[in-house]
Structure 1
Amino acid sequence: MRSSSFKSSVSVTHISTATAILTIDDVNFLLDPAFGNHGDFQQRDGVLLTKTDDPALGLEDLPVIDAVLLSHEDHVDNLDTSGRTMLNGRHVFTTLDGAKNLAPRPGVRGLAPWESTTVTLNGKQFKITGTPTQHLPGGECTGFVLESPSFGVNEADGLPNVVYVSGDTVHIPQLANELPKRYHVVVALMNLGKAIAPLPTGPLQITMDGAQGAQLTRDIGAEKMVPLHFESWKHFTESVEDARAELAADANIKDKVVWVVPGVKTVIV
């Protein structure tokens, strides 16, 4: 049930992969800034990843950015050289390891799972909480829950209304079980694509596919779900057509899914 106490507007502008602008009222959050054009990108661990498309917007097209939500800083499809310029002089929320690696930038704050901090951006107060993920073994990655006084409390369950950003993760019990106990999710942004990492032990799925995204949307009771991170890289193994089909096949959530057009600001609620 839509909470009438949620008094904010939420819009999403998808740029490329996980890179997007999440606009809440007059505050712009930039998610996982990566603005490089198509080509090969070498990661810190030596792995070469291939990007197949250019971003829908360039750095010069961005509005004023109030804060950056960075799921992890060690993968080039979430943060590349061009995107790193957006971290300087801004509030940045990321993992604990990421905060150390990005030092000495004073605006960077690392969050452990379920750890929270508060910040005032453009006159609006937010509580930002890190959420668990399961991504590449040995590395840190985080999702985010955003709260604000204007979001209110859901009348049906008495839980705080929130916006959830998954970061890079597969479906895990910690999210399915804990998020609906703690929060009423009004908008969920979920990273899909079924990214596969070629490990010595064999291929490992490290982001959700459409079926897992549908399952997590059901599990957490999200009112609206916005798919991200489903195109532009060769290590993504599920096409956008297959993801659309899987989400549309789930009668419980198909009307909750909002597909956004790259480069176009789309009102979600």
Structure 2
Amino acid sequence: MTAPTTPHVDIHRAGDRMKTRISWLDSKHSFSFGQHYDPDNTHHGVLMVNNDDIVMPGQGFDTHPHRDMEIVTWVLRGSLVHQDSIGHSGVIYPGLAQRMSAGTGILHSEKNDSWRLAGSEHDEHAEPVRFIQMWVLPDEPGISPGYEQLEIDDELMRGGLVPVASGMPAHRNQSAITIANRGAALHVARLQPGGSVQLPEAPYLHLFVAQGEVSLEGAGILSEGDAVRLTASGGQRLSADAPAEVLVWEMHSRLGG
């Protein structure tokens, strides 16, 4: 399919996201998810899910299946315990990049109960965990399930857009973790007051303000939870007057072509 040639900037405000709220979960969905379905809002590029989740202490997602999806989880506050059917178990926390390839099929759970790994049944950590979970379509179905994680907090503290998860050849020796899509990469930037970064150029970009407030050239002020979907664009300057964190997906293909 021919790449788009007409630049387009589409701003999606935090308050307009679809929401799932139950006793232990506050989840905001940038795209159609679960019972929330909008045929005009199913994906951008190859990004199909961008969920902003808050899970209460001692609670979480019980064991459930996934298939043929690259799942990247980025924790912003607190800690999240991951366990899966191929033998991986660990705690994800801010600054730790994590990817799970569902492939031919995998079962996993995600809980806000890290204290139990130390053998205590007491709720010693009363902090909710907040994390962004992103699903990207892989290049090919039926790959072997896999898991990868790496701490990159030090690199993020140096500033700039850091390639956190990528399948692009250009990031082969740069990204923290790999995904099974040769045309997609997740960049993260922690902006300090007065700091700025330039967005990469790509047929499809998805910018999500994870924390704080930023200003995007040509689009204005973006607050926490806001997202921008860019087509045939990039190169804009993104700046912050106060500490902020942004997630940027660079994508060179889209679902269906």
> Is the pair's TM-score, using the shorter chain for normalization, greater than 0.5?
no
Query: More strand by proportion, 1 or 2?
Result: 2
Normalising by structure 1, we get a TM-score of 0.31
Normalising by structure 2, we get a TM-score of 0.32
